Amino acid sequence: MKTFAFFLGVILLPLSIQAGWSRTYGTAQDEKGFSVCQTSDGNYVVAGYSQPENSLWVLKTDENGDTVWTVASQEEWPTSRAYSVIETSEGDFVAAGYSAPFWDGKCHMTVVKFDADGNPLWTKGDWDWFENPPGSIGYSIQETADKGFIVTGATSHAFDEIDDLLLVKLDSDGDTVWTRTYGGQAPDCGQCVCQTADGGYIVAGYTMSALPWSFWLLKTDQVGDTLWTSGMVDWFFGSAYGVTETSDGGYMATGYVAPFEDGKYHFMVLKTNPDGDTLWSKWDFDLFPGELGGVGRCIRPTSDGNYILAGYTTGFLDEILDLLLIKISPAGDTQWTRTYGGEAEDIGYCVGQCTEGGYIAAGATKSFGAGGYDIWLLKTDVAGDTLSVSEKPVVSGVSNWHVLNPVGQRIVLCFKDCPSGFHANIFDASGRKVDEIRSSGQTGIVSWGEEFSPGVYFIRVESVASGSSKKVVLME
C-alpha cells in the first residue's frame, strides 16, 4: 500500500496583492498545478506535481494564497502526478492521478483521500481494482450523488502510453463498483468527467480510433454503458479537455483542434443538445480578436448563468504563450477575455468561481517564480482582473487607443482611427459599470475621473475596432 508524507522546503514567491493576487509555488525545477477548487472554509486546494522529488503534490492555501499544508508522495514511488482534486461533501479531499513504481514499467491510476488537515486517510489504485492491472492514468475525479466517486482517464500498457478511455466508479471507501473501457485500436483518453442530472456521466477527451473524430464526447448511463458519442468531424487531431452540463440538459465542452491549414492549435467551445448533436461551435477567432491560437483546458458554470473557461494562447503549433481566461454567455458570446503572463510560457489548466464572485485559476508559469515551471495560482475579481501580474489584452496589431495617464487625479487617454466615434464603459473593481465615455470624433484626447472616488477602475472600449480593456487608478 502506498503511503504519503508531508513535503517541506517549498519556495513560495508572492507577487503584489491588490484587487486579486498571484502566487507561485516551486523550486528551480518544474512544478505544475493541474486542478484547483475553493474549499468550504474559503481557502483553496491545488493538485499537481513537484520537483526534484518528481512526486504527486497536493497543497492547501489560505484565502490569500499562503500555504497551510502540503502533501507529497514518498520517495519509494519515484514518479507520480495528481491531475485532479476535489473537496468531498464530508469536508475531506480526494485527488486522482497516477504512480509509476517502475517495477513493471507502467503508470498506475492512483486515488488518495486526505482529511481536512492533509493527513492521508486511504490510497487506492488499479492494483486494488484489477487482478492483473493493465496500467492506467486518472485525469479527472468527481464525487457522485451516492458519495462515491467517478474517475476517468486511460489504460496504459507502458509508461505514459495511452490505450483505451477508462471510466471507474468507486464507492466512498475507494473500492471499485464497476470499470468500463471505451475505444478501438488506437489511443483513446478521457480528460474530464461529470455526473449528469439523469445519474449518468459525460466524459470529454479524445479518440484516434474513430477518425476523423478527435475531439470526443462520450455519454453513458449510470453503469457506464454508452448512450452516444459525439465529436468534431474532418479535423486531423485535437482534444476536449473540459465539459459541463448546461441548464437545458445539453453539454458545453472546450479543447482544441488543429486543421494544419495555418499551423496553429485553435481554441474551441462546442455546445450540444441532450443527445450529443452539435448546436454551435465557437473558435478562438470568434472568442477573442487577434491572430493567436489557443487551447481550452477547463469550463465551469458561473452563478450568473454564464461560463468561465481557462486555457492558454498559442503561436505556431503548440507554442505556449499566456494563461487565458474567457467568460462567455450560454450562446457562446464573449463577455470578457483576459490573458496573463510574461515573456516565457504561462499555462492555465483549471478555473473555478469563488463564493464572493471572483475566480481562482491554477496553472504553471515560467515567467514568474523560482525557475523552470512553477505552480501558479491567480485570484481575480469578477471582471477577471488581478492587478498583480502582467495582464495583456488579446488584440490584433496596434491598438487604436492608449491611456496617457493611467494613475492620477484624472485619467487621460487618446484614440485614433475610429470612424464611428469613440465609446468606452467604465467599471469599478467589483465589475459594476459606473460611467461611460463617448466622443463623436475619429481622433482625439479625453479625460475622465474628476468626480469619482479614488480607487481602481477598468476602461473597456466598445468601439468595433478596439475591443480591449485597461486598468487605471484614481488618486486623491
Residue 370 has pLDDT above 60, yes or no: yes
Answer yes or no: do 89 and 210 share one domain: yes
Mean pLDDT in residue range 437-448: 84
d(CA 390, CA 416): 25
d(CA 111, CA 125): 6
Query: Is 392 inside a domain boundary?
Result: no
Answer yes or no: do 152 and 19 share one domain: yes
Query: Is 394 inside a domain boundary?
Result: no
d(CA 247, CA 5): 42
Residue 170 has pLDDT above 60, yes or no: yes
Which residues does 135 contact at the CB level (< 8 Å), separation at least 6? 104, 106, 107, 108, 126, 155, 156, 157, 158, 159
Which residue in the block uniquely carries the three cell numbers 477518425?
211
Mean pLDDT in residue range 351-359: 95
Query: Is 409 inside a domain boundary?
Result: yes
Query: Is 389 inside a domain boundary?
Result: no
Q: How many domains does the chain have?
A: 2
Query: Is 317 inside a domain boundary?
Result: yes
Inter-CA distances, 50 with 32, 62, 434, Å: 7, 20, 44
| Whole-number pLDDT of residue 48 | 95
d(CA 134, CA 131): 9
Q: What is the pLDDT of residues 73-128, one digit of tens each?
A: 755 556 789 999 999 999 999 999 999 876 788 899 999 999 999 999 999 999 89
CATH no. for residue 51? 2.130.10.10
Q: What is the pLDDT of residues 217-237, one digit of tens each?
A: 999 999 999 999 988 755 568
Domain end (from 380, 413, 445): 380
Phi–psi pair at 427, nearest 5 degrees: -125, 145
Query: Is 353 inside a domain boundary?
Result: yes
Residue 317 gets which letter from DSSP? B
Q: Strand 469-474 and strand 11-14: pairing?
A: unpaired
Among 57-66, 135-144, 284-293, the range scoring the smallest mean pLDDT is 284-293
Amino acid at site 126:
D
Q: What 3-state class would DSSP assign to 8?
A: coil
Tally DSSP H helices, then E strands, for the chain: 2, 38
Q: Concatenated DSSP letters for 137-205?
A: EEEEEEE-TTS-EEEEEEE-SSTT---SEEEEEE-TTS-EEEEEEE--SS-EEEEEEEE-TTS-EEEEE
Instruction: Find, among 286, 232, 278, 291, the residue nearest to 257 by Cα.
Output: 232
Residue 236 gets which letter from DSSP? S
CATH no. for residue 429? 2.60.40.1930
Domain end (from 330, 351, 380): 380
Phi–psi pair at 128, nearest 5 degrees: -85, -25
Residue 176 has pLDDT above 90, yes or no: yes
d(CA 376, CA 133): 34
Cell numbers that stand for 208 in this block: 484516434
Contacts for 193-196 with beta carbons within 8 Å, 24 or more apart?
A: 193/140, 193/141, 193/142, 193/150, 193/151, 193/152, 193/167, 194/142, 194/243, 194/244, 194/245, 195/142, 195/144, 195/145, 195/150, 196/245
Answer yes or no: do 329 and 434 share one domain: no
Answer yes or no: do 314 and 434 share one domain: no
Q: What is the pLDDT of residues 288-323, one digit of tens each?
A: 877 889 999 999 999 999 999 999 999 887 789 999
Asked if 231 and 207 count as a contact pair (C-beta separation under 8 A), the reply is: yes
Answer yes or no: do 353 and 405 share one domain: no
d(CA 311, CA 243): 13
Inter-CA distances, 239 with 8, 206, 257, 364, Å: 36, 5, 7, 20
Per-residue confidence at 463, pLDDT binned at 50, 70, 90? Answer: low
Answer yes or no: do 356 and 411 share one domain: no
| Whole-number pLDDT of residue 5 | 38
| Domain of 447, in residue numbers | 401-474
pTM metric for this prediction:
0.79
Residue 215 gets which letter from DSSP? E
Between 12 and 250, where is the model more confident? Answer: 250
| Whole-number pLDDT of residue 234 | 58
Prior bond to 52 cis, omega within 30?
yes
Answer yes or no: do 233 and 141 share one domain: yes
d(CA 426, CA 441): 19
Instruction: Find, among 235, 198, 204, the residue nearest to 217 by Cα.
Output: 204
